[in-house]
Structure 1
Amino acid sequence: MNLHIPKQLARSQPAGWSLIFIGTLLLTWFTAQSAHAQSYRAAAGLAEYAAADAASLVTLQTNREDITGDGVPDTIRIVGRPSETNRGSYNKLSLEIQDGGERKQTCFYIGSGYAPLLRLVDWNGDQVKDLYLTVFDPFDRHLPVYSIYTRTDADGGGSRLTQLPLPQPLSVSGRLKDNYKVQVRLRNTNQTFLLDRRERSAAYEQAGYYQNGRLIRPKLLETAAEYNELLPADIDKDGISELRGLQRISGIGTDDVIAYAASVWKWRYGQWTLMRTELLSQEQL
C-alpha cells in the first residue's frame, strides 16, 4: 500500500494533525477494499445461484423442426423445474428455440403448471410449422392454458416468432323453461336451441325448480367463461389446422351438464374467423 502525502503539507501541520490525516486515509482505503470484496462475493454468489438454478431445470419435451422457414431444422424445447410443493407441477416453465440456421436462441417464459405439451401445426398454409402449447393451471389441473406462436417477418429482414391471440370464447346464454325444457342461445351466430331435459325431471323437482313440469323458480344457465378445450384439428382436411373449441353449459349445478357449445376457428387475414358452431351432448364429444 502506498499513500502519498505532500511534504509541504506534512511540514506545515502539527504532528497530531498528521496522524489524524494518515488515519483518515487508512480508514478510507480499508473501507473501499472491504466494499470491493463484498461486491465480488455478492457477484460470485449470484453467479453460483444462477448456475444452480439452471442445473435444477429439466427438459420436458424436445422437437426438431424447421419453424423459421429457412429449410434448416430448429430445436424446440420445453424446460421447467419440478415443484417442491405441488407434485407433478413445474415452475419456471419456458419454451426455448434454438435457430438451426442463424444459431440464435429465443426464449418464451410460460410460468408454472402441469403437463406442458407442445404441438407443431400449420395455421396459415405457408408450409412452416407453428407452435401450439398447452399447460394446465398450477392451481387447477383441469383448467388448460393455451399459447400460439408463429413465424412473422422481422424488421430489417429475416423472421421472428410472434405470439398469436386466441379466439374469444362464444357468447352463450340460456334458461330453464316449462316442461323441463332448456333454451340455449349462441349469440355469435344467433342460433337458438330448445333441449328436452325430462330425464332430469326428478332432480329438478327435488331442487325446487319445477312442480309437476311447471317452472316455479327461474334459472339462468351457467356457461364456462373460458374454453374447456381448445385444440388444433384439420377439420376440412386441407393440410391447414383449425382450432376447435368446447365450452361447457351447466343447468342447476356444475354437475348438471346440459351440453357443450362447439366452435371451429380458422386463421384468416391476421385474425381468427368463426367457421362453424354447434351444440353437442356429452355423448357426441
Structure 2
Amino acid sequence: MNCRKHTLVTMVLAGLLGMPALWGEGASPKGEAPLPEAARTAAEGWSQKEAAKKENAPAQAKADKKELAAPISNVPVKPPFKKEIREVELKLQRGQLISEAIGDVDGDGKQEVVDLLGNPVVEKSSFMGDLYIVVKEVGKKDVKYFIRPQNLGGYDPYLMLADVTGSGAPNVIVAAPTGGTSGMVDFRILDFTGKKPDEIFTAADNRGVQIVGTYLDGYRARLQFPNLPGKMQEVVIDLSRNEDAYRTLNVFDETGSVLPSGQRPYVQGISELIPMDTDSDGVDALITTQKVIGAVQAVPIGYVRTLWAYRAGTWQAQDVSFRTELYTKPAYKTSDRVTGKSGYEIIPLPLDTPVGNLYYPHFQKFDAKLAWKMNHAMEMFYRSKIRDASFGSRLHLSYDVKYAGKNYASILVMGLYSDHEMNEPIIQGFNFDLRTGEAVPLKDLIRPTGKFWTMARNEAQAAGISLTEKDVKGFYYDGAVLGLFYGDNREFDLEEDKVLPFMIKNRLEEEFLTSQSKEEKERNMEKK
C-alpha cells in the first residue's frame, strides 16, 4: 500500500512540475484551482537541485576522467563485508519423506539412498500427492537423480527395489494404494541405469490384462482375453450363487435371461504387484492381480493373475490364470469368513505389528483345545516372520483357505519380505487334521505312497522338472489341484484326475470328490 501511494505522489508531482512551463510562472489552468503550496514548494526544490547538477556537471566530468586515467590493479577488490550464503535443497524442502530404500540403482558400484517424498493433499490425511523420487549416494548430500512420476498419489505409499529389467541393478518400484472398496494400487517402476531416470512401468501399464465380458442366459458370464492369442481365450462363469443381486440390479430377469441393460462384467486395474524370480535366472518377473467385477463391486467375479516379463522395452504377458470361488473350488481371500463342512468358521484375525496391519487365519466355533492348537501354530509362524523384519523393511502376508472339509483343512499363506534390494517370497502351507488339531503330513493324504511318487515324478519329467519326494518342502490341496512346493519356493501342480485315485483311502477319512462327482452328489441330494 505504501508503494502505491509513493508511485501516485510521484506521478502527480511529475505532472505538476511540467505545468509552469506551459502555463507560465504562478499560472493555473483556466477554471481550475491554483497549485497547492506544498506541491509548489516540492516542485521548486526539485528545480533547484536540477539546476545545481547542471552547474557542477563540468567539474564532475573532469574528476571522472582523472579516475579513468589511473592504472588498473590486478588485486581483486574486497567487498566491505562477506555475505553469508545458506545452502538450500530446494527439491527436498517441498515434500515429506515417506519411504526409503538403499541399493546400487544405477549400477555404478556405489550404494544410493532412494527417498520417496510427497505432501498430504489434505491436512492430517495419509493421502499423499505430488510424489517424487530423490536419489543420493550414501553419505553424500548432493542430489544424484530426481524424477517425478506422472499423476501418482495414494494412501501411505511406499517403495521397494527389484531388478525387473535384467540390467543387474535394482529398479525402483513405487506403490500408492488408491483407497476405497476397489483395493486398487497405483504402481510405477523406475530405471536409473540410463543417461537419465526412465519410467518403465507407467500409468498405462497399471491397466494390466484387458478382457471383454458379457452376460449369458442362465445366470452366467463369459470373459474373453482377445489380446492374448494362444493363451486363455475364454472363461464361462456361473453366477447363480448371487442371482438375487443380479436380478435386483436388472442384469437378469426372473427366468435367468439377460436383460438389455447394457451392463457388462469388467476387469479393474492392478490391485497387487509382486516382483519374484520365477525361473531362477536372477531377474524378477512381475506377478499382478486384477479383480473382475460384475454387478456388485464388493463381490468380485474372480481374479486375473498375470506373469509379466520385460522384453525389448515392453511388458509382455507370459502366463495368465483366472480363479474364482464361483468357477472351481473356493479360493477365499484374506477378508472372507469361511464356513467348513461341520459348521466351524475360519476368520481373519488382526495381528498388531510394527510393520502394519496383518491378518492371520483363525478357527472359531470349534473344539476350544483343537482350535487353540491350530491357531497357535499359524500365529507363531506370522510372528516369526515379523521378528525377522528389520527396520526399513516391508512385510506383506495374506492367506487363502484352500480346503475346509469335515476332517481336513488346507490354508496357504503367501507373502513377500522386502529389505532394500532383496526380495524374499514367502510360501507356507498349513494342513490340519481337524480331529486332532495336528499338522497333516502328505503321506497321510495319499496311499499308496510309492505309486503316487512314481506318478508325480513322471508328470514332473513331462513338464521338464526333476522332482522327487525328498525335494518337496510343503503342499496344499484345494479340491482341484495338489500344489507341491520344492526348491526355492517353486510350485508344481498335479490335477485332480491324477491325484484323487491316491486320496480315496486317506488316513483322515475325508471324502474327496471330483468336480463332476460333487455335482452329481448335489443333484442326487436335491432329488431326495
With normalisation by structure 1, the TM-score equals 0.70
Q: Give the match for residue 85 of structure 1.
A: 123
Q: Work out the CA distance in 2 between the residues paired with 1:23 and 1:143.
A: 75
Q: Give the match for residue 161 of structure 1.
A: 197
> Given the alignment of the two structures, is residue 250 of structure 1 paired with residue 293 of structure 2, yes or no?
yes
Q: Which has more strand, going by share of residues?
A: 1
> Given the alignment of the two structures, is residue 133 of structure 1 paired with residue 174 of structure 2, yes or no?
yes
Bigger relative contact order, structure 1 or 2, given CA contacts below 8 A and separation 6+?
1
> Given the alignment of the two structures, is residue 173 of structure 1 paired with residue 212 of structure 2, yes or no?
yes
Mean Cα deviation higher: 232-241 or 259-268: 232-241
Q: Give the match for residue 322 of structure 2.
A: 279
> Given the alignment of the two structures, is residue 75 of structure 1 paired with residue 113 of structure 2, yes or no?
yes
String of CA shifts for 1:202-226, please: whole Å, max 9, x gaps: 3334444132333344654232453
Q: Give the match for residue 253 of structure 2.
A: 210
Q: Work out the CA distance in 2 between the residues paired with 1:18 and 1:214.
A: 99
Q: Give the match for residue 109 of structure 1.
A: 148
Identity %: 17
Change beyond 3 A, Cα 1:24–1:164? farther
Mean Cα deviation higher: 71-80 or 105-114: 105-114
In the alignment, which of 185, 188, 199 is matched to residue 241 of structure 2? Answer: 199
Q: Work out the CA distance in 1 between the residues paired with 2:96 and 2:52.
A: 52
- C-alpha contact (below 8 Å) 2:289/2:306 kept by paired residues: yes
Q: Give the match for residue 6 of structure 1.
A: none
Unaligned stretches of 5+ in structure 2? 1-42, 54-85, 326-330, 334-528
**Bigger radius of gyration:** 2
Amino acid at match of 1:275: Q
- C-alpha contact (below 8 Å) 2:146/2:197 kept by paired residues: no
Mean Cα deviation higher: 188-197 or 243-252: 243-252
In the alignment, which of 183, 186, 189 is matched to residue 222 of structure 2? Answer: 183
- C-alpha contact (below 8 Å) 2:101/2:160 kept by paired residues: no
Amino acid at match of 1:105: K
TM-fit CA distance, 1:172: 0.8
Amino acid at match of 2:221: V
Change beyond 3 A, Cα 1:217–1:75? same
| Count of residues in Structure 1 that have an aligned counterpart in Structure 2 | 244
Unaligned stretches of 5+ in structure 1? 1-15, 27-46, 155-159
For 1:182, what is the secondary structure of its paired residue?
A: strand
String of CA shifts for 1:68-121, please: whole Å, max 9, x gaps: 112111111123344553522234432110035996522223564321111100
- C-alpha contact (below 8 Å) 1:178/1:215 kept by paired residues: yes
Q: Give the match for residue 64 of structure 2.
A: none
Q: Give the match for residue 22 of structure 1.
A: 49
Q: Indicate the RMSD between aligned Cα atoms, in angstroms.
A: 3.7
With normalisation by structure 2, the TM-score equals 0.40
For 2:107, what is the secondary structure of its paired residue?
A: coil
String of CA shifts for 1:12-56, please: whole Å, max 9, x gaps: xxxx98942736999xxxxxxxxxxxxxxxxxxxx9xx8899667
- C-alpha contact (below 8 Å) 1:121/1:130 kept by paired residues: yes
Q: Work out the CA distance in 2 between the residues paired with 1:150 and 1:126.
A: 9
For 1:228, what is the secondary structure of its paired residue?
A: strand
Amino acid at match of 1:164: I
Q: Give the match for residue 512 of structure 2.
A: none
Change beyond 3 A, Cα 1:17–1:78? same
- C-alpha contact (below 8 Å) 1:114/1:141 kept by paired residues: no
For 1:245, what is the secondary structure of its paired residue?
A: strand
TM-fit CA distance, 1:142: 4.2
Q: Work out the CA distance in 2 between the residues paired with 1:188 and 1:81.
A: 38
Q: Work out the CA distance in 1 between the residues paired with 2:249 and 2:316.
A: 41
